[in-house]
Structure 1
Amino acid sequence: MSRTDILEDIKKAEADAKVKVEKAEADKKLAIADARRASVQKIQDAEAQARSNYETSIAKEKEALAAKREALLANGKSEADKIDEDIDAKLQKVKDYLNEEFVRTLDVSS
């Protein structure tokens, strides 16, 4: 091989190496861009999952609180009804007592 052939082979090898380096750089940039997109997607998916879990937990707690509220209201209504019954019974006793006292007062004065 002559000196020119050797120089041409070297230039060709350098050109091939340059093309390979440029392709590797482009592949690297593409891989980095893909990785960034994938990481952004994972973050968005995690945020969506967290929001979903939060909303589910809130809804579950609201249901539990509503059930507890209804139970407390039912218990309170039951107690109020019992108090009303007791008041009615005591009120009748008071009426009877006042009526007896009134009649006794009339009997004493006659």
Structure 2
Amino acid sequence: MARDEILSKIKSAEAQSRAAVQQALEEKEKKIAAATTEAMNLVKSAEIDAQDYYDKSVAKAESDVKAKKQSIIQSGDKNVASMSGSASAKLDKAVEYLLKEFMGSLHA
């Protein structure tokens, strides 16, 4: 092989290796960009899932609180009605007792 031919092959091999390195770098950049995009999409998806879970949890907690509040109010209303009836009956007895005492003190 002639010296010129060897040098030409070396230059050709160098050019091919530079092109292969350049192509590998471009592929690397594309893969990094794709991975970054995928990671951002995963993060967004996870944030959406977390927000949905939070919203559902808050809605359930609010519903539970409203149900508990309603139960307490109903129980309180029953107690008030019961106490009111009891107080009304006792009031009538108290009025009768006071009238008897008053009449007794008038005749004494």
Quote the residue 1:52 is aligned against.
52
Quote the residue 1:15 is aligned against.
15
Shift in Å at residue 102 of structure 1?
Answer: 3.3
Q: Does 1:39 align with 2:39?
A: yes
Report the residue type matching 1:38 in the other structure.
E
Separation of aligned partners in 2, 1:68 and 1:14: 80
Shift in Å at residue 3 of structure 1?
Answer: 2.0
Question: 1:62-82, CA deviations, whole angstroms, 9 ceiling, x for partnerless residues?
Answer: 111110010000000100110
CA RMSD of aligned residues (A): 1.4
Question: 1:81-101, CA deviations, whole angstroms, 9 ceiling, x for partnerless residues?
Answer: 101001110011111222233
Matched-pair identity in %:
31
Report the residue type matching 1:29 in the other structure.
E
Q: Does 1:3 align with 2:7?
A: no
Q: Does 1:83 align with 2:91?
A: no
Q: TM-score, normalised by structure 1?
A: 0.88
Separation of aligned partners in 1, 2:42 and 2:30: 18
User: For structure 2, which runs of at least 5 residues remain unmatched after alignment?
Assistant: none
Shift in Å at residue 5 of structure 1?
Answer: 1.8
Report the residue type matching 2:3 in the other structure.
R
Which deviates further from its counterpart, 86-95 or 47-56? 47-56
- Report how many aligned residue pairs link the two structures: 108
